[in-house]
Amino acid sequence: MSPALPSYEEAAALVSGIAAQVRAQRPRIERVHLAAAAGRILAQPIRADRDQPPFSRSTRDGFACRAAEASTHEFLSVAGATRAGDPPAGLLDPGAAWEIMTGAPVPPGAGSVIMIEHVEQTDGQVRLLPPRKVSEGENIVAQGAQARTGDELIPAGTAITFAHIACAAECGYSALEVFVRPRVAILTTGDELVPVESAPAPGQIRNSNSPMLAALVAAAGGEPWVLPTASDDALALDNSLAEAAQADLLLISGGVSAGKFDLVEPALARAGAEFHFTGVRIQPGKPLVFAVLPRKSAINLHTQEAARAIPVPVFGLPGNPISSAVTFLLFAAPMLAALAGSLQPGPRFALAQLAKATDKHGKPGLTRFLPASCQFNPPAGKLPQVALVSWHGSGDLAALARSNCFLVIPEEADSLEPGAIVQILLP
Ligand code: AMP
Ligand code: MG
């Protein structure tokens, strides 16, 4: 075990340090229609354009009344009615009730709404059925209780979900300012790789990392830019790197292990890279390289000065597909989130309960992130139940396809026992 390699936590802290510098340079902004904004990163704060609710709103069908009067169970005269969409009625007279529908403005003076299911009605009169009482404010959301005009409801930097779209719609935003997606170069390396459209000759394999990484990049808010695969030769790598360095973030797959044809590190060095680490104490993904390259152009930054100030982050991902996926989720995704202007960089972890013991063959001193299957709808009262999927190492894509998360086995743990509360890395 090389003591010089950073632990997972140390490597993650290094990456988030660079990510913080990157985040300080806000990306360029574009406007998108509200309906197309899901998954984008908000570049403006969303503010309430009026009080929410804009009027004291009934949450029930029933009768607006004074709570103290209704609670005497005396009959109250029904003085009128308001439906949802009607303007608010005038002040409610003492001894009166006002018929009201869900979502309608409650007349001033009425402090509560009694539900239609809880009343007795006779010719223009209504009373609350004993022994039920009603308290002040019941079944009403007061004007401005949710938000006041001008309140910031969603901060810039939020990854937009359905909830933010609904909230923005309520505030009258038909379009949103969002950050331009960072362009992420995906450069696969390896003489054995053929494109998915080609029939592999003996000894060749299909390039699965390009489409996998493109999918991961898109899901993490980036614009994938898939470059042609570079062969395992220095000149080819130099040429590909020169082109790829025009991106906002560069992902290289393969060529970072200790083999004779693992030429990525020297090529990065020739391109002027500053290395932050060239390995991490994790499995899979130990040979991961993290470096920065001098920037040649600005895709999503405001100015050339900003562009020059921020170098291009580069991850040299180990070529084995599961190693590539894990190291992307742990390190590249948080960097991508920072480049995208997001305040929620990830990675995302959750707790689950281990359903089956893990093996005892882990390499000591490495934090492991192993493909696992988690049942997220466990029986009532139980935590999500997780178990490792059986696999034949980090090239086993069939195993990856059977998994929906990665089980985290801490550095110091040899194996984990059934019933243990464990951490899982979410994709
Ligand atoms: P490397 O990191 O280049 O030593 O590659 C490690 C393993 O991953 C080898 O078995 C490669 O054939 C495989 N591999 C590398 N790149 C890819 C790729 N783009 N798609 C699928 N497998 C790959
Ligand atoms: Mg290779």
Give the single-character DSSP code of 62.
E
pTM to 2 decimal places: 0.92
Model confidence pLDDT, tens digit, residues 315-360: 999 999 999 999 999 999 999 999 999 998 889 999 999 999 888 7
Ligand nearest to the CA of 200: 1
Q: What is the pLDDT of residue 260?
A: 81
Question: Computed from CA positions of residues 273, 41, 350, 361, in that sequence, does the dihedral angle turn out positive or negative?
Answer: negative
Nearest CA to ligand 1 atom 3: 254
Poorest-pLDDT segment among 95-109, 168-182, 278-292, 409-423: 409-423
pLDDT digits (tens, 9 = 90+) for 225-247: 999 999 999 999 999 999 999 99
Residue 27 in tokens: 């990306």
Rounded CA-CA distance 73/130 in Å is 6
pLDDT at 3 over 90: no
Which residue's CA is the closest to the ligand 1 atom numbered 7?
320
| CA 189 to centroid of ligand 2, rounded, Å | 6
pLDDT tens, 17-29? 999 988 888 889 9
- Looking at this protein, which amino acid is placed at residue 348? R
pLDDT at position 348, please? 96
β-bridge partners, 407: 370, 424
Given this model, what pLDDT does residue 1 score?
45
Residue 166, classified by CB atoms within 10 Å of its CB into exposed (0-12), middle (13-18) or buried (19+), is exposed
Ligand 2: distance of its center to the CA of 1 in Å? 23
Structure tokens at 234: 């220095």
pLDDT in tens, 126-167: 999 999 999 999 999 999 999 999 999 999 999 999 999 999
Give per-residue pLDDT as tens, 335-344.
999 999 999 8
Phi/psi of residue 50, each to 5°?
A: -160, 170
What residue type is 210 in one-letter code?
S
Q: How close is the Cα of 190 to the center of ligand 1, in Å?
A: 7
Q: What are phi and psi of 417, to 5 degrees?
A: -95, 150
What pLDDT score was predicted for residue 306? 58
Give the per-residue pLDDT at 296.
Answer: 67
- Percent of the chain predicted with pLDDT > 70: 96
Question: Which ligand minimizes its atom distance to the CA of 227?
Answer: 1
Q: Which residue pairs, CB below 8 angstroms and at least 24 apart, start in 38-41?
A: 38/160, 38/161, 38/162, 38/165, 39/159, 39/160, 39/221, 40/159, 40/160, 40/176, 40/178, 40/179, 40/181, 40/221, 41/157, 41/158, 41/159, 41/160, 41/178, 41/179, 41/221, 41/340, 41/341, 41/342
Which residue among 186, 191, 193 has the greatest number of ligand 1 atoms within 8 angstroms of its CB, and so is best to mutate?
Answer: 193
For the CA atoms of the chain, what is the radius of gyration?
30
For residue 139, the CA-to-ligand 1 centroid distance in Å is 62
Cβ–Cβ contacts within 10 Å for residue 49, how many? 13
Pick from 206, 209, 265, 328 the residue to mutate for probing ligand 1's pocket: most ligand atoms within 8 Å of its CB.
209
Q: Which ligand is nearest to the CA of 317?
A: 1
Closest ligand 1 atom, CA of 232?
Answer: 3
Q: What is the mean pLDDT of the chain?
A: 94
Mutation to probe ligand 1, out of 204, 205, 227 (largest number of atoms < 8 A from CB)? 205
DSSP code for 117: G
d(CA 19, CA 125): 67
One-character DSSP codes across 12-30? HHHHHHHHHHHHHSPBPEE
* Locus of tokens 């202007």: 341
d(CA 266, CA 232): 12
Residues 92/80, Cβ–Cβ less than 8 Å: no
To test the pocket of ligand 1, the residue of 207, 320, 397 to mutate (highest count of ligand atoms within 8 Å of its CB) is 320
Ligand nearest to the CA of 203: 1
Q: Which ligand 1 atom sits closest to the C-alpha of 192? A: 12
CB under 8 Å to 403, separation ≥6 — which residues?
A: 371, 372, 373, 389
Q: What is the mean pLDDT of residues 280-296?
A: 94
Q: Whose CA is nearest to atom 15 of ligand 1?
A: 319
Ligand 1 centroid distance, CA of 254 (Å): 5
Lowest-confidence segment of 41-55, 111-125, 302-316 by average pLDDT? 302-316
Alpha carbon nearest to ligand 1 atom 12, residue: 192
Ligand 1 binding pocket (C-beta < 6 A) is: 188, 190, 192-193, 205, 207-209, 253-257, 259, 262, 318-321, 395
- Ligand 1 centroid–CA 334 distance in Å is 23
* Nearest of 370, 345, 357 to residue 425 by alpha carbon: 370
Q: How far apart are CA 315 and CA 387, in angstroms?
A: 30
Q: Nearest ligand to the C-alpha of residue 190?
A: 2
Residue owning the nearest CA to atom 14 of ligand 1: 319
- Cα(212) to ligand 1 centroid in Å equals 13
User: Per mean pLDDT, which range of 60-69, 91-100, 287-296 is the poorest?
Assistant: 287-296
